[in-house]
Amino acid sequence: MTYRVCFVCTGNICRSPMAESVFRARVAGAGLDDRVEVDSAGTGGWHEGEGADPRTVTVLREHGYDAGHTARQFDPSWFGHLDLVLALDAGHLRALRRLAPTEEDAGKIRLLRSYDPAADDDLDVPDPYYGGAEDFDACLEMVEAASEGLLAAVRAHVEGQAA
């Protein structure tokens, strides 16, 4: 059975495609790419059909990640086939919880940085859109740090299903 993960930010051009790319690489590196699907979306549809922000593409490529991406808006009907929905900040978390059709679906939503044991009380990944290259680098560092814990949690779930 395939385990499905979707990262969600505002417009699906900065943070969530970055998280998608990083986590997809972690999943592949762990040999789980045949059992885990990774995707991303935005809470809004302003950038639907566009590629990732050029600064996201640059930072991903500089760090050896795939940068191919097409933005889209999260659809509440997706909850039915998703196992985990990862919000990049508290605003996305609230928006996704409002969209969740059931309590079970709302229970699938988590903040990405909740998987980073070194994260402080602020679990938001700040939006780098209005900043400079250093903000995109900082965003990538936060995403990478959380991805290790997320991978461990997903691996435990996937391997638990196989048992």
Residues, the chain, total? Answer: 163
Token readout for 119 is 């994260």
14 is catalytic: no
**Position 52: which residue type?**
A
Which residue of the set 9, 89, 105, 113 is catalytic? 9
Which residue of the set 66, 97, 110, 127 is catalytic? 127
User: Rounded distance, CA 113 to CA 52, Å?
Assistant: 21
User: Rounded distance, CA 71 to CA 145, Å?
Assistant: 24
Nearest Cα to 25, choosing from 42, 8, 38? 38
9 is catalytic: yes
Which residue of the set 6, 15, 116, 124 is catalytic? 15
155 is catalytic: no
What strands, in cross-sheet order, belong to the sheet with 84-87? 36-42, 3-9, 84-87, 109-111
Q: Are 100 and 79 in contact (CB under 8 A)?
A: yes
Active-site annotation, residues: 9, 15, 127
